[in-house]
Amino acid sequence: MSNNLDILSVEQIRSLYGIGDSQEVPFHECDGPGCGKEQSKQNKFKKCSRCWGRKYCSKECQAKDWKGRHKLQCRVNKMTDTGGEMVKVEDGINDDILERIEYFKEKYGRLLQIAALNVLLIGPNGTNPNQTLYNKTHVPILILEDLPSSAKYPRLSIQTAVTIPIAMLGETYRKSINGPIRRHRKHGDPELFVVNVGLTLVDTAEQNVSVYTPFSYGPDFLDWKGDDVRSIYEQYKNTVNAMAAGNAKHLVATIKRNA
């Protein structure tokens, strides 16, 4: 592992993912349809190996969920950003790129969530002395880049980040994201706020391929005001990139075992 990278420690990762003592098991109900079993020390659930987003008490529950709904949810919603408008992608076109971005988002979701919030707090012009939260008017975009073919799937890392006004993304974009944001607000804690985050990769054909996802945040996230948000962003970016490049296997193992 590269020692010159300012990355999170195992203890910070465990705290971020709500992992307590090594013998503790985070509460989770099986995501199998109608199952409802709770995870225990004796029966640690298995995660979907593709998205890490769902847990199952058995292969039978995983198979039922896959046939019932997860097959569609696990695959990326095939949308791409071209010239400011969100348009459907024809079957087979850029499918691999979109799936790689979606997998990257699911694999490093909590890290990307905090990185993106700090990008927003840095501000649209790179200066935001009052750390105003621009989530209703701007979108933090994490610009991704390809890793060598020898890297582990999805072979992506964060290159840089920008903050873009929602108005620049076009009416189709705004309509496509309003529904998910409304659902987050309806079913979540009223004190939660939502930030829409973009993950963008410019492929070899110079096409801008993007995935946009609303993340919900609790009010405690804003307790960081006054901290060096740029340094926090850099630390989370470095952590994701170290994990993606295979230089932080101890952190990956911590998440895979316990998250």
pLDDT at residue 38 greater than cutoff 70: yes
Quote the Cα angle for 77-81-84, to 5°.
140
CA–CA distance from 244 to each of 137, 145, 258 (Å)? 31, 11, 18
pLDDT at residue 87 greater than cutoff 50: no
Residue ranges per structural domain of the chain: 22-74, 77-258
Report residue 153's pLDDT band, with 50, 70 and 90 as the boundaries: confident
pLDDT at residue 184 greater than cutoff 80: no
- The owner of tokens 């850099």 is 234
CB proximity list for 211: less than 8 A, separation 6 or greater = 76, 77, 79, 98, 101, 102, 105, 198, 199
Q: Give pLDDT, residue 241.
A: 96
User: Higher confidence at residue 28 or residue 198?
Assistant: 198
Q: Give pLDDT, residue 180.
A: 59
pLDDT at residue 3 greater than cutoff 70: no
- N-term to C-term CA, the chain: 22
pLDDT at residue 199 greater than cutoff 70: yes
**β-bridge mates for residue 199, sequence order:** 142, 211
pLDDT at residue 92 greater than cutoff 60: no
Mean residue pLDDT of the chain comes to: 77
Q: Give pLDDT, residue 45.
A: 82
CB proximity list for 101: less than 8 A, separation 6 or greater = 76, 144, 154, 156, 199, 201, 209, 210, 211
Q: Give pLDDT, residue 235.
A: 94
Mean pLDDT of the 76-91 span: 37
Residue 94: both structure tokens together:
């850029």
Residues 160-171 pLDDT 10s: 999 999 888 877
* Coil/strand/helix, residue 58: coil
Report residue 94's pLDDT band, with 50, 70 and 90 as the boundaries: very low
Cα(15)–Cα(114) distance, rounded to whole angstroms? 13
Report residue 115's pLDDT band, with 50, 70 and 90 as the boundaries: very high
What percentage of the chain exceeds 90 in pLDDT? 21
Report residue 178's pLDDT band, with 50, 70 and 90 as the boundaries: low
Contact 142, 158 (CB under 8 A): yes
Q: Give pLDDT, residue 188.
A: 56
Mean pLDDT of the 7-22 span: 77
User: Higher confidence at residue 258 or residue 148?
Assistant: 148
The runs of H, that is alpha helices, within the chain are 10-16, 59-65, 71-74, 95-107, 109-122, 171-187, 229-244, 249-258
What percentage of the chain exceeds 70 in pLDDT? 71
